[in-house]
Structure 1
Amino acid sequence: MDGQVAGGENYGLRDEIKAYWSARAESFDQSPGHEIFTETERSAWHRLIVKHLGAGEGRRALDLASGTGVVSHLMDDLGFEVTGLDWAEPMLERARAKAKSRGRMISFRMADVENTMELDDTYDVIVTRHLVWTLVDPEKAFAEWMRVLKPGGTLLIVDGDFVSANFAERLVKRLTKLLEGGGLLKADPAHAPGMAEIHSSILSRVYFSKGARADKIAALLKNAGFEHVEIDENLRDVHKAQAHHWNFFKALSRGLQHRYAISASKPR
């Protein structure tokens, strides 16, 4: 990605990413791993968040790439004052409708996560789920997140490597694809005609095109000035709760993936 500039190739890629997630908005909440379907999973997410961020107690939280507001609601459950940012209007429409139907006072607005337009030193915590792997310029994004965090504030990233895979994971994925193609397994909405190809094309051109490994992200966070950077690969409770809504092969594939949470703090 070196040498590319806004308005050139990166501009087009960002537009493609925005269009892809806008198209995915309609079916986003139907997929396990996106929406929360059981109290068991909700509790698992709550434990993970509290482990790294503590209780809300009215502290201000920024949910980046908030989508339909799933993580925003988890944060709201825990007593954070939440603002969700996303750049796909169809996602924001669903997030606002969901918050209204549940009586939640969560603010959702459109913004680019690499240029949030938020004030300096505004938020006690920032949370992202499955965002970092899509970043075109993570160094710019991390500097931006550092800027809007209050001194001593905490960033929590939940993400994974969706590119590189070991032999077992590749084998399971190939078998799953064959079974889906034969109609023996229900296909994921992301695998709908045309969507998988778009996803693969985008994935091949983002910064982490070779895979968003936790150690790479941690190194970039340290270079951006974050401290107390910790990698947590124990997301077992979340994955176990989600597995009940997947077929055997999908659950097995998820369990084999490199998924993690990374917490980091802005110096005081």
Structure 2
Amino acid sequence: MDVKESISQYWDWRSQSYTNGSHGFEEEEKAVWKRELEPFLPGNRHKRVLDVGTGPGFMALILAEMGFDVTGVDISKGMVEKARENARAMGLQVDFRHADGEQLAFDDGSFDLLVNRHLLWTLPHPLDAVREWSRVLSGGGRILAIDGAWFDPSLNAQIRRGISRAVSKISSKSGPSIQSRFKEHYHSIKGDLPLCSHSQPERICNIFHEAGLSNISFRQLIEVQKLQDEKGSLLRRLEYHEPTFLVTGDVAKRGERMQ
């Protein structure tokens, strides 16, 4: 099976149970995310937003609530339909489309801001993706990439994940568990995903730099992590010990690109 086909099939299946945030669109969690994002959304310079790997629309719908003109794309048709359902339920207008986040069918400079959440680790070509994202941004546009060290290869992290998954397997109901279905789709392709076990902020900053972005920085989303620890299960806290982080980088302005 093709790498992207395997990824698409897994997330089609996950779209049936995947939730936005820790427990859906709770107002408390949305407020936390808005506070975390606000410093990176200066003035009215970023009106047209593209959310790549939108999933069920978490980031896209939050940004739509904040007044932005948002388009969301995802490689999973199931996730796109779930996002559309969520938008209808919330009374928000977002243009959700089925698309490959590494090959975007948008003209150069179509957007002012590009965001993604929990996406880079599952891309086969993250550097090419960041270059493609830069292409569809206007000069001076910005990329915000939110991720986490989900599959940290360190011994301590492997022990925590092993305990969490063993307990989850014992307590799971009949039917395939998320862990078993994930392994079925990702075990054979993780070698084709450069950031799968290496989604540290420093590694992503290096990719941003290689892609030609400027003003690159990262920040641990401590407030998000605190809320997720409070809302999430003990097993989740055990498995995902490291905080979520945000990496940001700016596309050169038009005149600077020509130099």
3-state SS of paired residue (2:16): helix
3-state SS of paired residue (2:189): helix
- Structure 2 unaligned residues grouped into runs of 5+: 254-259
Deviation at 1:138, TM superposition (A): 1.5
Deviation at 1:48, TM superposition (A): 1.4
- Give yes or no for contact 1:55–1:79 (8 Å, CA) kept in 2: no
Inter-CA distance 76–91: structure 2 relative to 1 (3 Å threshold): same
3-state SS of paired residue (2:15): helix
The answer to whether 1:251 aligns with 2:242 is no
Match of 1:133 among 121, 132, 136: 121
Q: Separation in 1 of the partners of 2:33 and 2:43?
A: 13
Identity level (%)? 26
- The count of aligned residue pairs is 253
- Give 1:27's aligned amino acid: S
Find the counterpart in structure 2 of residue 225 from structure 1: 212
For each residue in 1:86-137, what CA deviation from the matched residue of structure 2 results, as whole angstroms up to 9, or x when unmatched?
A: 1211111111122122211111111111111101111110000011111111
Find the counterpart in structure 1 of residue 16 from structure 2: 26
- Give yes or no for contact 1:156–1:263 (8 Å, CA) kept in 2: yes
For each residue in 1:129-150, what CA deviation from the matched residue of structure 2 results, as whole angstroms up to 9, or x when unmatched?
A: 0111111112211111111111
- Give yes or no for contact 1:165–1:257 (8 Å, CA) kept in 2: no
- Superposed, 1:69-218 pairs within 5 Å as 69-183=57-171, 190-191=178-179, 193-218=180-205
Moved more, 134-143 or 151-160: 134-143
Q: Separation in 1 of the partners of 2:246 and 2:17?
A: 25
- Give yes or no for contact 1:214–1:260 (8 Å, CA) kept in 2: yes
Inter-CA distance 219–14: structure 2 relative to 1 (3 Å threshold): same
3-state SS of paired residue (1:28): coil
- Give yes or no for contact 2:144–2:246 (8 Å, CA) kept in 1: yes
Match of 1:12 among 2, 12, 15: 2
Q: Separation in 1 of the partners of 2:227 and 2:88?
A: 27
- Give yes or no for contact 2:7–2:185 (8 Å, CA) kept in 1: no
Deviation at 1:196, TM superposition (A): 3.1
Deviation at 1:85, TM superposition (A): 0.8
3-state SS of paired residue (2:252): coil
The answer to whether 1:266 aligns with 2:254 is no
TM norm structure 2? 0.88
TM norm structure 1? 0.85
Deviation at 1:202, TM superposition (A): 3.3
Q: Separation in 1 of the partners of 2:30 and 2:44?
A: 16
Match of 1:64 among 31, 52, 55: 52
Inter-CA distance 37–83: structure 2 relative to 1 (3 Å threshold): closer
Inter-CA distance 108–56: structure 2 relative to 1 (3 Å threshold): farther
Inter-CA distance 188–214: structure 2 relative to 1 (3 Å threshold): farther
Match of 1:238 among 209, 224, 238: 224
For each residue in 1:168-204, what CA deviation from the matched residue of structure 2 results, as whole angstroms up to 9, or x when unmatched?
A: 433322222222232289x99522x433332333333
Moved more, 207-216 or 220-229: 207-216
